[in-house]
Amino acid sequence: MDWGLENRLAKIINPRNNRALMLAVDHGYFLGPTEKLENPKKTITPLLKYCDSLMLTRGVQRNSVDPTTSVPMVLRVSGGSSIIGEDLSQEQITVSMKDALRLNASAVAMSMFVGSKFENQTIVNLGRLVNEAEEYGIPVLAVTAVGKDLGKDARYLSLACRIAAEQGAHVVKTYYCDHFEKVVNSCPVPIIVAGGKKIPERDAMQLTYNSIKGGAVGVDMGRNIWQSQNPVPMIRAIRSIVHGNANVEQAFKLYTDLCRENKSLKQQNKPKNQHKIKSNKANSNKSKTPSGN
Ligand code: R5P
């Protein structure tokens, strides 16, 4: 492996423990303003210091991330469909390698839709992206997207992951499933697990724990972090599993402790004479005329 490629990969997957915590915020590329990601900067800023890398589009990177950050960027370079369009699998490469370099991408990412109408197009695009990215020493993350009629089972996911690796992807993102070891064992490159739709916090921690136990290097998690009522405690709990070898009990305890701390901090920061302020307001309102003057 070329030095540059290996060095970039080491920024995403920590070589000391072979683990990765990627924060996914690229959803807007086909979903538009997803719930809790309406203002990407507001969502990303408090979470940034707890992730190893950030997966995003160039628009979000340029407009919502401070360029002085040291967090590596995994740049989504595919797109072309929307949630209201005809077929989500009709994606193309939309970002040039030149722009990826300008954005100092540590990796580029694209979706591949095995078993879909546009399977051929997305697999060929993956091969072409690897050709180009290898020239510049940039790793490629293949996102094994699942068509709406396909199940996320070990048979399908191992097919998709293996095809991605055969095309030259350096990392493959997939879903956790029963018999996950089958998916990992038949894929010669590291596997990172997507969080998927929002589920209860403890379940998302279990998913993370199971994924790592099953052989994944980590998670590329989005909604289960920033759609949580408590995004910072949530990412810290997930981090404790990925990097601290915490089990689900320990991670959930960390989460609840941090939530409690946050709550008491908020209470402490409330103005002490709030009651006074309220009653003064009520008095001053009394003196106002019905028109409010
Ligand atoms: C898919 O739209 C994106 O590639 C997401 O980055 C991926 O699905 C991971 O995000 P989440 O954990 O919300 O599923």
Q: Is the CB of 194 under 6 A from ligand 1?
A: yes
Residue 182 lies in a domain: yes
pLDDT score recorded for residue 293: 28
Nearest C-alpha to atom 2 of ligand 1 is from which residue?
27
Residues 126-141 have pLDDT tens digits of 999 999 999 999 999 9
- Kindly give the distance from the C-alpha atom of residue 56 to the centroid of ligand 1, in angstroms, as a whole number: 10
Residues of the chain with pLDDT under 70: 147-148, 272-293
Is this structure's pTM higher than 0.85?
yes
pLDDT score recorded for residue 272: 65
Q: Report the nearest atom of ligand 1 relative to the CA of 76.
A: 4
Residue 177 lies in a domain: yes
For residue 293, give the 3-state DSSP assignment: coil
- DSSP string of 107-149, one letter each residue: EEEEEE-TTSTTHHHHHHHHHHHHHHHHHHT--EEEEE---TT
| Alpha-carbon distances, residue 78 vs 40, 41, 91, 92, 282 (angstroms) | 19, 21, 6, 5, 56
**Using CA atoms, how far apart are residues 195 and 203, in angstroms rounded to an integer?**
10
Residue 97: its H or E element: helix 97-102
Q: Is the CB of 225 under 6 A from ligand 1?
A: no
Residues 233-278 have pLDDT tens digits of 999 999 999 999 999 999 999 999 999 998 887 777 777 665 555 5
The CATH code of the domain that includes 46 is: 3.20.20.70
Residue 292 lies in a domain: no
- Of the residues 42, 173, 263, 276, which is catalytic? 173
Q: Is the CB of 223 under 6 A from ligand 1?
A: yes
**Using CA atoms, how far apart are residues 184 and 192, in angstroms rounded to an integer?**
10
Catalytic, 182? Answer no
- Kindly give the distance from the C-alpha atom of residue 215 to the centroid of ligand 1, in angstroms, as a whole number: 20
pLDDT score recorded for residue 287: 37
Dihedral (CA of 153, 220, 232, 29) sign:
negative
Residue 238 lies in a domain: yes
Residue 142 lies in a domain: yes
Strands (E) across 88-241 are located at 92-93, 107-112, 140-144, 171-174, 191-194, 218-221
Domain with 242 in it: 3-286
pLDDT score recorded for residue 174: 97
Domain total of the chain: 1
Cα 144–chain centre separation:
14
Q: Ligand 1: which of 193, 220, 242 to mutate, judged by most atoms within 8 Å of the beta carbon?
A: 220
Residue 293 lies in a domain: no
**Using CA atoms, how far apart are residues 228 and 205, in angstroms rounded to an integer?**
12
Average pLDDT of the chain to the nearest whole number: 92
Q: Report the nearest atom of ligand 1 relative to the CA of 111.
A: 4
Residue 161 lies in a domain: yes
pLDDT score recorded for residue 274: 57
